[in-house]
Amino acid sequence: MDAVRSLLFVGAALLLGATGARGREVCLGTDMKLALPSSLENHYETLRLLYTGCQVVHGNLEITHLHGNPDLSFLQGIVEVQGYVFVSHVSVSMVPLDNLRIIRGSQLYNSSYALAVMDNTLSGQGLRTLRLRSLTEILSGGVYIWGNPQLCFPDPQNIIWRDELNEKNFHERQYRLQPRASQCPPCYPACGKSCWGETAQDCQSYTSTNSHWGCQRCKGPLPNDCCHQQCAAGCTGPKDSDCLACHHFNDSGVCKDNCPLPTIYDPISFQLKPNPNRKFNFGATCVKTCPYNYLAMDMACTLNCPMANQEVIISHPDGSETQKCEKCDNCHKVCYGLGIDNLGIMDNHGITMVTSSNVDQFNKCKKIYGSLAFLPQSFARDHVTNTSALTLEQLNSFRNLEEITGYLYIDAWPEEWTDLSVFENLKVIRGRSLYK
Ligand SMILES: *[C@@H]1O[C@H](CO)[C@@H](O)[C@H](O)[C@H]1NC(C)=O
Ligand SMILES: *[C@@H]1O[C@H](CO)[C@@H](O)[C@H](O)[C@H]1NC(C)=O
Ligand SMILES: *[C@@H]1O[C@H](CO)[C@@H](O)[C@H](O)[C@H]1NC(C)=O
């Protein structure tokens, strides 16, 4: 069992996420939609671990399946979400996303929505306040707020969504907005009808519709209140270093179109030369080095190398390691795991399990790019497809395995095999994709 315990430990450590070099605390987010978590009892604890201290969610923020009225104050640090925000099947009365400024919508819920809040009522208790008091930008995707009979704040019909949505996004908008619950207190008087809660701090702040000067974002109604065009969400002044969020990339507080490139033009030699100040794109941030567990490519940090590239580990004199993707003409034969399609692209939705019909592809592999999962059906005969149950002999094909880049999930294991010794040579589970 010690092996199992240390594997679990690797997984738990990863939940704590990565820090962009000296930058803001980053976490991965999830891609579960309405799927039930692997353990409902621990689900709150898992969410708390995932998001405590997190400022930038690199994937989607999904708050689902929460009973009772647990404390969600650990969400208050979140400033940016790269994918979508999804709140569903929770009975908590308030979701305090107080500091969330921008939802980028790089992934959308149901291919349409950057913000989806649906069916939040369980045995009479339900979501009453979605306190998005800082939200002023949705770069891509629409808004879906439906099936929340207790929802008072925001009043979906009275928020000026046109101000939240990026100008380009607004024209392709997609909304489905329910009416407000019947017995709700009004907004604070100075807010008018558009607010995210009852207090004076909850007024919707406008950063585009009150500008008569044609600027994309502004901090007020005057001509010199315009934000720099690199700004998203709003600003405190006119410069590209005064933005509340960056439209594209944040290079040490300055918003830019691109991160500093790996090469620059040298006007003396008329040649490109390496740029000593080059940085990598990491989400919407520029970083000097890729964070822990990420691979450096030419311009960006990634979780898996593209085709015709291989992972290379570089050890530094100080004992640290960096990992990068390097082009190779004849790469060694690569073993893909279950989470990787045959183009080398990570595809968590295609994952099934190891069975007797696919186990041969792992034979003699030292490193598996992707994940492995063993479910009860792996060890049962399937009469529909006429596949036999996995045998211990077939499992011996994992004896050479030293590394998995995704996860190892063992939900079932035959009783008569009392250990996991077929994995006796496994040294590293990188956890670049995580089970649920
Ligand atoms: C840019 O990143 C720095 C550090 O990571 C952070 O302190 C700052 O608030 C960010 N600025 C914007 C506009 O996102
Ligand atoms: C999501 O998409 C499916 C199929 O396109 C549709 O049936 C369903 O109603 C959609 N759900 C929402 C919340 O829009
Ligand atoms: C199922 O597989 C077994 C051996 O693996 C074979 O003998 C049998 O004919 C197969 N049955 C069908 C219906 O294909």
> What would the mean pLDDT of 242-267 be, rounded to a whole number?
96
76-80, 159-163, 381-385: which is most confident: 76-80
Protein residues with CB under 6 Å of any ligand 1 atom? 23-24, 243, 245-246, 250, 253, 255
Instruction: Give the closest residue (by CA) to ligand 1 atom 11.
Output: 253
The verdict on 384 and 279 lying in the same domain is no
Cα end-to-end span (Å), the chain: 22
The verdict on 316 and 344 lying in the same domain is no
Q: How far is CA 35 from CA 15, 65, 185, 306, 349, in A?
A: 19, 9, 34, 29, 12
Nearest-10 Cα torsion for 152, 154, 158, 162:
-160
Residue 403 predicted with pLDDT over 70: yes
Output the domain CATH number for residue 136.
Answer: 3.80.20.20
Atom of ligand 1 nearest to the CA of 80: 14
Helix axis angle, 2-15 to 43-51, nearest 10° = 50
Instruction: Give the closest residue (by CA) to ligand 3 atom 13.
Output: 386
H or E stretch covering 215: none
Residue 248, CB-side half-sphere exposure with 13 Å CA sphere:
13
pTM given for the model: 0.86
Q: How confident is the model at residue 2 (pLDDT cuts 50, 70, 90)?
A: very low
Output the domain CATH number for residue 291.
Answer: 2.10.220.10
The verdict on 294 and 198 lying in the same domain is no
Could you tell me if residue 294 is inside a domain?
yes
The verdict on 374 and 300 lying in the same domain is no
Going from the Cα of 93 to the center of ligand 2, the distance in angstroms, rounded, reads: 25
Going from the Cα of 164 to the center of ligand 3, the distance in angstroms, rounded, reads: 60
Q: Where are the beta strands (DSSP E) in 254-388?
A: 254-256, 263-266, 271-274, 280-282, 285-287, 295-296, 301-302, 309-315, 321-327, 335-336, 367-369, 372-374
The verdict on 425 and 300 lying in the same domain is no
Could you say which of 282, 306, 327 is where a domain stops?
327
- Token pair of 84 as six digits: 């979508």
Residue with structure tokens 């990339």?
249
Instruction: Give the closest residue (by CA) to ligand 3 atom 11.
Output: 386
Domain range for residue 283?
263-327
Could you say which of 183, 202, 221 is where a domain stops?
202
Q: How confident is the model at residue 376 (pLDDT cuts 50, 70, 90)?
A: very high
The verdict on 285 and 365 lying in the same domain is no
Which ligand number lies closest to the CA of residue 142? 2
pLDDT, tens digit, 9 for 90 and up, residues 317-333: 998 888 999 988 877 77
The verdict on 316 and 397 lying in the same domain is no
Could you say which of 185, 202, 219 is where a domain stops?
202
The verdict on 171 and 319 lying in the same domain is no
Q: Taking a C-beta distance cutoff of 8 angstroms, is the pair 341, 350 a contact? A: yes
In the chain, the percentage of residues whose pLDDT exceeds 70 is 90
The verdict on 320 and 344 lying in the same domain is no
Residue 17 predicted with pLDDT over 60: no
Instruction: Give the closest residue (by CA) to ligand 2 atom 11.
Output: 110
DSSP 191: G
The residue among 150, 63, 168 whose CA lies nearest residue 105 is 168
Residue 302 predicted with pLDDT over 80: yes
Q: State the Cα–Cα distance between residues 204 and 53, nearest whole angstrom.
A: 25
Could you tell me if residue 295 is inside a domain?
yes
pLDDT, tens digit, 9 for 90 and up, residues 22-50: 578 999 899 899 988 878 888 999 999 99
Q: Quote the pLDDT of residue 5.
A: 35
Instruction: Give the closest residue (by CA) to ligand 3 atom 9.
Output: 386
Q: Quote the pLDDT of residue 422.
A: 95
Single-letter code of the amino acid located at 281: N
Pocket of ligand 2, candidates 87, 110, 117, 119: which has the most ligand atoms within 8 Å of its Cβ, to mutate? 110
The verdict on 361 and 403 lying in the same domain is yes
Q: Quote the pLDDT of residue 346.
A: 56
What is the number of structural domains in the chain? 3
Q: Quote the pLDDT of residue 109.
A: 95
The verdict on 305 and 360 lying in the same domain is no
The verdict on 295 and 410 lying in the same domain is no
